[in-house]
Amino acid sequence: MSEQLITITGVDPVDILGANDANLRIIRGLFPKLNLVARGDTVKVSGTPDDIALFEERFNELIAHVARYNELPRKVLDDIMGGGEATQGAADDDVLVYGNAGLRVKARTPNQQRLVEACRTSDMVFAIGPAGTGKTYTAVALAVKALKERAVRRIILTRPAVEAGENLGFLPGDLREKLDPYLQPLYDALKDMIPASRLAEYLEEGVIQIAPLAFMRGRTLNDAFVILDEAQNATLPQIKMFLTRMGRNAKFVITGDVTQVDLPDRQPSGLMPAVDMLRNVPGITVIELDEKDVIRHELVTRVLVAFREMENRSNENAQSK
């Protein structure tokens, strides 16, 4: 009789073993010759070496499937553990997160890949570029990946509550309802990558926190992957306040589009002054994306190019006067 300990990594053990060990009971029925005992994220397997080896191989396929698809239907459980046609094995190296319905979230342009690599080597990364270049989406995917791999204990997403010509006080509802429209793009990205029920739990438990920038004042953010989105709408004092919230084992990503500043005319954006000041500081990386990184409709690229050309002509005319 041999024993083997198998650790469930990269996914929530409940997703594998089921609520109240419902899936574990099914697995025991499929491997009647083995004794299976689960404790937290560890499964102790007792039996013959050959039976244990077969179980470990199929159990790892089960973990890979949940890591990829964020779900485990009964048919898939039976197919993998029962010896039917298994789904594909481990995730491709370039996939950051397997989201809902098998969505593969990964860097799709060279600059997005640079953003991914920068987050591996630097604890503070600025991602600057126009709309549609995947700054926020890639950053959120990196945050979800870090949470799944237990590199951090929580995700904190924040934005300045500033929009062109709008005022929070005139929106209906309580504070949460007033703020949600400003934070909706962050919710949208998370909904692609985390099952709805799990996302609701994370939000309720504070594992994932989404709040306006003003709510960051006075906090120390430890063991967290923190994203400041739409940073072009923050003043320099606000950006300083945010950056100095960084605590132990924290990763900060700051995204922004300097061509879409919605601050009142007399309030200059603090994003580029902060970038210029910090560009050469060790441990900080600046990634600049451009029209070539746009992954939305091809017309978005053409629109950005047209606006850039118009701005260049306006600048040339102003300089010639």
Mark out the alpha helices in the chain (DSSP H runs).
13-17, 22-30, 49-69, 74-81, 110-121, 135-148, 175-193, 196-205, 236-243, 271-278, 298-320
pTM, whole model, 2 decimals? 0.67
Residue 172, pLDDT score: 59
Pick from 78, 95, 96: nearest CA to 87: 78
| pLDDT value at 289 more than 60 | yes
pLDDT band at residue 102 using 50, 70 and 90 as cut-offs: low
Q: Which two tokens stand for residue 119?
A: 């987050």
Residue 66, pLDDT score: 84
Report, as an integer, the average pLDDT of 89-117: 76
| pLDDT value at 90 more than 50 | no
Residue 221, pLDDT score: 96
Q: Is 89 exposed, middle or buried (0-12, 13-18, 19+ CB in 10 A)?
A: exposed
Question: CATH code at 257?
Answer: 3.40.50.300
| Claim to verify: residue 132 and residue 158 sit in the same structural domain | yes
For residue 307, tell me if it sits in a domain: no
Alpha carbons 206 and 147: distance in angstroms, whole number: 13
The residue ranking higher by pLDDT, 177 or 106, is 106
DSSP assignment letter at 302: H
Distance of CA 273 to the CA centre of its chain: 26
Residue 224, pLDDT score: 98
Q: Is 68 exposed, middle or buried (0-12, 13-18, 19+ CB in 10 A)?
A: buried
Which of 81-85, 90-94, 132-136, 283-287 has the lowest average pLDDT? 90-94
Which of 55-69, 94-108, 136-150, 192-206 has the lowest average pLDDT? 94-108
Percent of the chain with pLDDT over 70: 88
| Claim to verify: residue 13 and residue 108 sit in the same structural domain | no
CA distances from 302 to 131, 182, 289, 296, 312 (A): 12, 26, 16, 11, 15
| Claim to verify: residue 155 and residue 264 sit in the same structural domain | yes
Q: Which two tokens stand for residue 152?
A: 């951090």
Pick from 136, 135, 154: nearest CA to 144: 154
Residue 313, pLDDT score: 84
| Claim to verify: residue 199 and residue 59 sit in the same structural domain | no
The CA-CA-CA angle for residues 128, 122, 193, to 5°, reads 70
SS3 assignment, position 104: strand
| Claim to verify: residue 73 and residue 167 sit in the same structural domain | no
Residue 318, pLDDT score: 76
Report, as an integer, the average pLDDT of 81-87: 54
Which of 21-25, 104-108, 147-151, 187-191 has the lowest average pLDDT? 104-108
The residue ranking higher by pLDDT, 43 or 302, is 43
Residue 299, pLDDT score: 74
| Claim to verify: residue 58 and residue 116 sit in the same structural domain | no
pLDDT band at residue 316 using 50, 70 and 90 as cut-offs: confident
pLDDT band at residue 88 using 50, 70 and 90 as cut-offs: very low
| Claim to verify: residue 245 and residue 284 sit in the same structural domain | yes
Residue 164, pLDDT score: 44
| Claim to verify: residue 65 and residue 186 sit in the same structural domain | no
| Claim to verify: residue 159 and residue 197 sit in the same structural domain | yes
Query: Could you tell me the residue range of the domain that residue 276 belongs to?
Result: 95-290
SS3 assignment, position 25: helix
φ, ψ dihedrals at 77, nearest 5°: -60, -45
Alpha carbons 13 and 42: distance in angstroms, whole number: 8
- Contacts of residue 288, defined as CB under 8 A and 6 or more positions apart, other chains included, come to 111, 128, 129
- Domain count within the chain: 2
φ, ψ dihedrals at 304, nearest 5°: -65, -40
Check: CB of residue 193 under 8 Å from CB of residue 144: yes
Question: CATH code at 66?
Answer: 3.30.1370.10
Tell me the pLDDT tens digit for each residue of 220-242: 999 999 999 999 999 999 999 99
